[in-house]
């Protein structure tokens, strides 16, 4: 992605989306969760093991990431399995273009 690919000025709905997603990414635990999911779908327990926090805390952050549309959830038996919705590098690329 190049800066020329972004409309100028940015449409308000895109500004709002970027602000919400950057706000979501402004918490280290959420970044750890997204990083854990880069290697593939994981259960809440697997995410908890990778994120250095409690299962209750992971569940709270996963709910926010799910509401923001950054992760998706599916049931597998009695477990909830989470995975990334899109390639996170796309969001980072867009954000970095804005601050350059």
Contacts of 50 (CB under 8 A, 6+ apart): 32, 35, 36, 42
pLDDT score at 52: 86
Residue 11 has pLDDT above 90, yes or no: no
**Confidence at 100, pLDDT banded by 50, 70, 90:** low
Q: What is the pLDDT of residues 28-87, one digit of tens each?
A: 999 899 989 989 999 999 999 998 899 999 999 999 999 988 899 999 999 999 999 876
User: With 80 as the cut, is the pLDDT of residue 90 above it?
Assistant: no
Please tell me the least confidently modeled range out of 11-15, 63-67, 94-98: 94-98
Domains of the chain as residue ranges with CATH: 10-99 (1.10.10.10)
Whole-angstrom Cα distance, residue 12 to residue 1? Answer: 20
């Amino acid at each position: 992605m190049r800066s020329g690919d972004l409309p100028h000025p940015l449409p308000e709905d895109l500004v709002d989306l970027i602000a919400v997603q950057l706000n979501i990414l402004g918490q280290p635990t959420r970044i750890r969760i997204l990083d854990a999911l880069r290697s593939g779908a994981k259960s809440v327990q697997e995410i908890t093991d990778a994120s250095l926090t409690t299962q209750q805390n992971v569940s709270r952050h996963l709910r926010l990431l799910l509401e923001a549309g950054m992760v998706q959830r599916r049931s597998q038996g009695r477990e909830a399995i989470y995975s990334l919705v899109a390639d996170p590098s796309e969001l980072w690329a867009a954000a970095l273009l804005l601050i350059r």
